[in-house]
Structure 1
Amino acid sequence: MAFPTHVRLVEVGPRDGLQNEPEPISTTTKLELIERLGAAGISYIEAASFVSPKWVPQMADHLQVMKNLARQEGVTYAALTPNLKGLEGALECGVEEVAVFGAASEAFSQKNINCSVAESLARFEPVLERAQQAGVLVRGYVSCVLGCPYEGEIAPAKVAEVSKALYDMGCYEVSLGDTIGTGTPLKAKRMIEAVSRDIPMTQLAAHFHDTYGQALANLYAVMEEGIAVVDSSVAGLGGCPYAKGASGNVASEDVVYLLDGLGIETGIDLDALAATGTWITQAIERPNRSKVGVALSAK
């Protein structure tokens, strides 16, 4: 299988990257981050999460973020909307795309959202119906596709089953998340093979965390299979509150450097992206987890 000629990067830093930060981050900082990412050539930015501030205090300003975005032409600004209330709030802000998230692991689903996988999928049906009425696209996430902190190994067939349920419900794209970053390239290939029997490869995305340092190798492996959409987070921001020791998403800068080296188009300015990673990690006093970002800033 040949590599794709173009890869679309889904930047999840402003949402997935910041949501677990313990200290409040100002709305102004979040808005500047989003603006800088768009200016660097990122065409899809997950900007906010419409969840209860009780559960995710860092995303309490989602309305202000979505309403005050300096929208750039050609950039999609999406939001996570796990329920109908969240979706209605996002629609009021003129959101263009939303996302819902399920898990391939029963134990993770119970710990994360207090319900079974089947119950979580049933909850999304009204969200998808309402989004379709409003003409808003919905992206589906499946977490724990290559391992779970509670269950360990996850069968590729289970990932395929949950992914197909989201796809059949109307999600135009399903993003496969290695939430705790334990996956390895062969496992990643086998998981993608299982899922792509039910869903076209063009409708799948890879969302790999780098806890064990395998994310780039895993991305290389699934791009060989035909994956052409990659979720990443500037400076490797983020982690998973339910998975101890899980570091952030794969760093956007590292992914772009890899893609540039493979001659794969992204339309992203790596220097501008790296400068954004340096700026945000200094602003929130966090280490920059992008190897490429650190190397470029040292030049």
Structure 2
Amino acid sequence: MGIERYLFTVRYHALRVLPRDADALRILHISDAHMAPWQHHKQEWIAGLARLEPDLIVNTGDNIGHRDGLSGLRDAFEPFTGVPGLFVHGSNDFQGPSFRNPLRYFTGPSQRNPEIEEMDVDALDGYLTDDLGWTLIDNAATSLEVRGVRINAFGVNDAHRDWDDLEVLPEAIGELGEADLTLGVTHAPYRRVLDEYVDLGADVIFAGHTHGGQVRIPGSRDALVANCDIPLDQARGLSEWTHDGRTAPLNVSAGLGHSIYAPVRFACRPEVTLLTLLPR
């Protein structure tokens, strides 16, 4: 349980969702780094992912796991400078971790701790937007072009803390115009968010937050817990989400880290996903 948290891995998937004449796109999905400054092995491993040459990075939040975590995050993400990116926040980008009894996760999603350390989210955002050139899409939408593919993307702030504002998205998306590909991005994959994303026309949905359960039964499809209301067999990996007759691919990353107060993983390696999008 103390070793597997260092066994970082890349999951590879491919989806045929692009227009027929489009070039393939390589999307690197990064989530839940929960970075602390002393986690040098994690920082070096993330930096080495530049060898995958992603065309776009989707970051689904919880980047910081310590008040000085941004220093480690800079070392990890520096090789991605200039690569287009999209990101949303998880609550740990705003609030530091605290000790929790892990057995309480079996009673339902965790509750907010009022005695929490505030993180410097402005410094984090300044680095991700100004230095790396990524775009924040908390309760917002944006449009960008990558390798000749026009992409519309929308996202929400952390639904686990009820910071999501789904009502603003239809108008924000409507102002973008037509696109070849539409991406929905969220930190926490709550059903209400996933349903709305499908209704809004997402071609692919990205999420994190669950840590894949963090501790799993070997060989089981189901996580023991998900810390949200997603079905336990969809708390990690690529699956599909269907609502009102429409279906979209859903990738839930098990993430790269863990709370510094719960430094364990079992049968659930820390991960990123390289998702290759191909023409239909």
Bigger relative contact order (CA 8 A; separation at least 6): 2
Shorter-chain TM-score bucket reads 0.3 to 0.5
- In the superposition, the TM-score normalised over structure 1's length comes to 0.43
Q: Counting strand residues as a fraction of each chain, which structure ranks higher? A: 2
Relative to its length, the structure with more helix (as a share) is: 1
State TM-score, norm by structure 2. 0.45
